[in-house]
Amino acid sequence: MFADRTEAGRRLGELLVEQHVSGDIVLAVPRGGLPVGRAVADRLDVPLDVVAAKKLGAPWNPELAVGAVASDGAVWVNEDLVDDLGVSEEYLDEETGRQHAVAAEKAETYREGRPPLDLDGLTAIVVDDGVATGATTIACIRGAREAGAERVVLAVPVGPPDTVERLRAEADEVVCLLTPPQFHAVGQFYESFAQVSDEEAMTYLDEP
């Protein structure tokens, strides 16, 4: 169990140091990933920025992710699920456009008008408070690559074993503190897992 997201970030940062995993920048997934990302960035003494993504919901079930899109337009689609559900290409295009706009607006809000940090040729460490299905995480990893990152590391406190294994095919390296076989939701591994407000999330980017 983690006390809260900041404590999880401290432990994650220590594990990265122990495993000699270095990076040039931490990209936190808002909103819950920002307290974790702040602690990791402070431990590694590197800058912190955001990478936002939104899932692409199925036509009759918005909570069911058939893919995801990052704020810079990088897209991941679960082709097998799309085929099984018979989701049309027209719907996918429309949903991608809608969710891309939301993700881009979210990233812009958190940066408060600042341009995104340059990732060209860098090693980016994508950080969240945990992963479940991994859909938005894949879009974030791809987003970092498309923004120019030479290497992308995923670092999270917790995630189910099958998802973590699948994400190894997307990231150059995956670091995860806990991979419990009995996984229902990220929040079950935190003593305090209150929702992070936009206002609070932005304060983590303001810290030195």
Q: What is the pLDDT of residue 52?
A: 86
In one-letter notation, the amino acid at residue 143 is G
Q: Which of the following CATH numbers is that of domain 5-51+118-206: 3.40.1350.10, 3.40.50.2020, 3.40.50.300, 3.40.50.720?
A: 3.40.50.2020
Give the separation between CA 156 and CA 164, rounded to whole angstroms. 9
Reading the chain (208 residues) residue by residue, the pLDDT tens digits are 899 999 999 999 999 999 999 999 999 998 899 999 999 999 999 999 999 888 899 998 888 889 999 888 888 898 989 999 999 999 999 999 999 999 888 888 888 878 888 999 999 999 999 998 888 899 999 999 999 999 999 999 999 999 999 999 999 999 999 999 999 999 999 999 998 888 888 888 875 5
Q: What is the pLDDT of residue 162?
A: 94
Q: What is the pLDDT of residue 179?
A: 94
Give the separation between CA 43 and CA 108, rounded to whole angstroms. 26
Q: 16 is written with which tokens? A: 């990265």
Q: Count Cβ atoms below 10 Å from residue 102 Cβ, excluding itself.
A: 14
Helix then strand count (H, E) for the chain reads: 7, 8
Give Cβ neighbours of residue 142 (< 8 Å, ≥ 6 apart). Answer: 70, 74, 75, 76, 170
DSSP state letter for 20: T
DSSP state letter for 86: T
Record the pTM: 0.90
Q: What is the pLDDT of residue 208?
A: 52
The domain spans of the chain are: 5-51+118-206, 54-110
The domain at 54-110 falls in which architecture?
Answer: 2-Layer Sandwich (3.30)
The CA-atom distances, in angstroms, between 168 and each of 2, 133, 155 are 24, 13, 11
Best CA proximity match to 201, nearest among 25, 28, 69, 9: 28
